Each structure stands twice: as C-alpha cells, then as structure tokens.
Amino acid sequence: MKIGAKTKVDDLIKKYPFLLDSLADLSPGFSKLRSPVLRKTIGRVATLQQVAGFGDRPLPDLLQKIQGEIKRVAGEEVVIEMGDPTPEPIVAKDARLEVLKDIIRELHQGGDLEEQKKRFAELIKDARPTEIAEMEQRLIEEGLPEEEVKRLCDVHVQVFKESLEDRILPTAIPGHPLHTLTAENRALEKILGEIKVLLDRFSTAGDGATIRRLRSDLRSRLEKLGEVEKHYLKKENQLFPLLEARGVSGPSKVMWAIHDDVRALLREFGGLIDAEKVPELVAAGSRLTEMMADMIYKEEKIMFPMSLETLNEEDWARVKKGEEEIGYAWVTPGTEWKPAVRAEDLAPLPEYRRPEASLSLDTGELTREQVNLLLKNLPLDVTFVDGKDTVRYYSAGPERIFPRSPAIIGRKVQNCHPPNSVHMVNRILEAFRSGERNVAEFWIELKGRFIHIRYFAVRDRDGRYRGCLEVSQDVTAIRELRGEQRLLDWK
C-alpha cells in the first residue's frame, strides 16, 4: 500500500475504517470527517493534501501518523510517496460548497481569518458568486442565524475577495435593470466621496462660520444621499422576490438586513449634523460611507452576477416593469435594452397561482372591472394575505403610503418585511390563526404625516381563518377635525 499527497481520503477510510477515529484523535479539525455529509462530499473527492488544512497538520506529519496507525492496527507496511504536494482545487460542486460552509463556520467560531483565506485559496480559489450565495443560504437553512450570517458577511467577503476581484463586472445594455442599478452606484460613489471630503474638513475647521457652511453642505449631500432608498427598494421589491422564486433566498435576507442598518445609520447621521458633537458626527459619517461602499461591492461582485446567472428574460422584463413604478436614484435609465416579452404579456410569478374569482357577492354583484376600480379608489391602502401567508393582492391607488410592486404577489408575507420585524409579523399571524386576536394596530409619524396601520383577521362564516387584511391610512387631516360639518362645503 502506498499513500501520498494525492491519496483520496474516501479510498483510505474504506480500506482502513479505523482511521476515521484515529484522524479525529489527531486533531479536532479531522473530527469533521465523521459527518456523513462531509464524507459524501469533501471526503469522497478530496486528497490527503486537500484535507490537511482541516486538521492544521503539515502533510508530511499527517502521512507519517497514518503510516504508523496502519502499522499498529492492521499490521501492514505502508510506503509514503509524497509526489507533488501542491494542493489542487476541489471541483465537485457539493464538496466545494461544504468547504465554503466549513470556512465560514470556522470564522463563526472565532477561527483565524488569514488561515481561512489560505484554505480558500488552496481548495476553492475560483468560487463563483452563485456558489457564495448558495453557501449563505445553506448555512441559514442549517440553523446559522441570519443575523450571524450578516455579521460575518464583511469577513467572508474578505476571504473571497481575491477570487471576486479577478471576475469581470457584468455588463448590460443601457436600459437593462442591471445597467441602471450599476449607473446608480456610480452616482452614489460620487456623493459618498463628497461627504468624505466634508467630514475631513470638519476635523480641521476652526471657526464657527466654516463649521456652519460645512453643516449646510453636509445637509445638502445627505438629502441627495436619501435617494438611495429607491435603489434599495428596487432590490427588495424586484430582485429579491424573483431570486426567491428561483430558489435563492439566503443572500437577499442578509442584504435586506444590511439595508436596514444603512437606513438606521442615515437617520443617526442626519440627527448629528446640527448637534454640537463633531467627533460623533465624523465617526457616524465614516461608518455610513464605508457601509454603503461595501454594499456597492457586494452588489456588483456577488448579487448582480448571481442575478444574471439566475434570472431569465421574462424575469428581467418583470424587474423593468416594477422599477418604473418605484423610480430611479440620481440617473435616467437608457432606452437601448428592450425586453423580449411585453409587460402586458408577462406570466404570473412561477409560484403564484391565481385563485378563481367569484363576482357574485353576499350583498350584490360586481364586474371584474368594478371590483378593481372600487379597490383602487379606496381612500386607504389595502393588502390581502391569504391563509397560507401568501400575498395575493394590494390596492394600487394613486397615492400609496408604503411602496409596493407586482413582484410581491405570490410571495410569502414574511419575505416582504425586514428581517428584524419578521418576528412581529409571525406573532400577529399566529394570534389571528389561533383565534387569540382579531385586530392589531399601530400608528407612526412619517414625513410629517400621521399614519394609522391596522391588521384584521379575515374569517369565513364558520369562523375559520382565511387570511389577513392590512389597512394603512393617512389620518393627519382626520385627527385635526373639530366640531361638525353637515353641509356640503365645495369651493
């Protein structure tokens, strides 16, 4: 028997099963091979050279230990033939994913970043954005909290950065949604650069007049920066649901959570501009610009290439239709790209199945057109979620309070909310479904308006839960009413 750098772990353990325990005793890292999943993926295709990094053991030392163990237990002489010790990248998809997941798990448990970068360079090196996205999703499905994946996001991008840097940015024809999103990023980078210059001047400004001028300039840039909301909404309402429909949800959840971190930091930064706390203002502004620049990198190196690989022409036509409703940040989209499918000919989302509509109602009969007009002209926003937590309808009135797009139809309502508020959504739906509650209500102040938001359990005649109705209304003017008005007061 000969063993060396190129010996397959699977072949070795099949011939000498006792080595599984022996390897585990050598190093905690090798105990991972006890996992059936790892043995079927990494173990089946990996060589001793490739897995040496798992146990943080030099290859010559590992080979000698194996040689001695086979002699001790089986009484057989084993010859070591080192051969070429240069690690070869793992090419089997499942094995590559397991290596990626293991690297992130090691970081999650406090592993050394440089060591894991070295493992990545030796074993994977050319990871595709879709592999990184699938790795994130599988970690979430296997129980790693989304918040923890988000926390590690910057770290694991550092691990994969060299591989990502080698990839050419995806290009698209002007007018294609990705071309527009990329153009928005270039505009965003310019604003972030201007804010950085102003923050540097704050640190050295000596007189009050200079500081007042800098504050005014900073407020102006912050107002422009607020346009990023349209950019994020297009991702949340257009790209994310379509990727979910194609089975890719993990990265979207992580990225949405980071969007919300940016939004919170934008509010904090805005509140500090007029405060007499220059160091805090500079620190918050630096964190904000760095976080937003990192988001651009993640979009263009991971999210956009993954989207191009995952979505088809119909999907992009659907994105185009939705982005026109949400709007554009800082740029005017090109017109060269024309989707092959007309917006009016688009099929429903893959997971969406339109329920049969009955127009014979309890207290009257309405045509389809009348039902549509009635709901569109309600003086409030209505969204209906069915008994399986799937969004089935929203009223597209002329002045919506909260943005919606057709892409949410057929989507789970939990995926239509930021990760940090999903627990509240589930609490309401569980209480409705169990019969514990029938109404939940909130009220907030938004851009100088007072918004009343109510959720109602929808039940059939037998009291069975059939869904949830969300009603949002701007009640600013209603709150200000006094006395009575019994006569028509048109002017």
Question: pLDDT digit string (tens) for 46-79?
Answer: 666 666 655 566 677 777 777 777 777 777 777 7
Reading the block at residue 453, the tokens are: 């938001």
Please write the tens of the pLDDT for every residue from 187-213.
999 999 999 999 888 877 766 777 788
| CB contact at 8 A, 204 and 293 | no
Residue 161 and residue 189 in one domain? no
Residue 28 and residue 117 in one domain? yes
Q: Is residue 491 part of a domain?
A: no
What are the DSSP calls for 385-425, one per residue? Answer: EETTSBEEEE---SS-SS---GGGTTSBGGGGS-GGGHHHH
Helices (H) and strands (E) in the chain, counts: 21, 9
CATH number of the domain where residue 440 is located: 3.30.450.20
Q: Is residue 431 part of a domain?
A: yes
| CB contact at 8 A, 63 and 4 | yes
Q: Is residue 69 part of a domain?
A: yes
Of 343, 373, 398, which one is at a domain's C-terminal end?
A: 343
Residue 297 and residue 207 in one domain? yes
Q: What mean pLDDT, rounded, does the chain reach?
A: 79
**Residue partners of 242: CB distance under 8 A and separation at least 6:** 311, 315, 318, 319, 349, 407
pTM comes to: 0.64
**Residue partners of 321: CB distance under 8 A and separation at least 6:** 343, 346, 406
Reading the block at residue 460, the tokens are: 């059939």
Residue 25 and residue 156 in one domain? yes
Residue 336 and residue 365 in one domain? no
Residue span of the structural domain in which 382 resides: 360-479
DSSP-derived pairing of the beta strands 364-365 and 439-446: unpaired
Q: Is residue 485 part of a domain?
A: no
Q: Is residue 433 part of a domain?
A: yes
Residue 113 and residue 15 in one domain? yes
Rg of the chain over Cα atoms, rounded to whole angstroms, equals 29
State the average pLDDT over residues 361-382: 84
Residue 277 and residue 368 in one domain? no
Q: How far is CA 357 from CA 91, 354, 369, 372, 383, in A?
A: 51, 9, 12, 12, 17
Q: Is residue 18 part of a domain?
A: yes
Of 290, 308, 343, which one is at a domain's C-terminal end?
A: 343
What percent of the chain clears pLDDT 90, i.e. is strictly above it?
Answer: 29
Residue 280 and residue 325 in one domain? yes
Q: Is residue 170 part of a domain?
A: no
Name beta bridge partners: 2. Answer: 79
Residue 159 and residue 204 in one domain? no
Residue 332 and residue 254 in one domain? yes
Reading the block at residue 489, the tokens are: 């007061």
**Residue partners of 377: CB distance under 8 A and separation at least 6:** 397
| CB contact at 8 A, 31 and 25 | no
Number of domains in the chain: 3
Please write the tens of the pLDDT for every residue from 78-110.
777 766 555 555 555 566 666 666 666 666 666
Higher pLDDT, 258 or 5: 258
CATH number of the domain where residue 223 is located: 1.20.120.520
pLDDT at site 468? 96
Residue 303 and residue 212 in one domain? yes
Residue 413 and residue 435 in one domain? yes
Of 108, 135, 165, which one is at a domain's C-terminal end?
A: 165
Reading the block at residue 328, the tokens are: 């554009």
Please write the tens of the pLDDT for every residue from 460-490.
989 999 999 999 999 999 999 999 887 888 8
Q: Is residue 172 part of a domain?
A: no
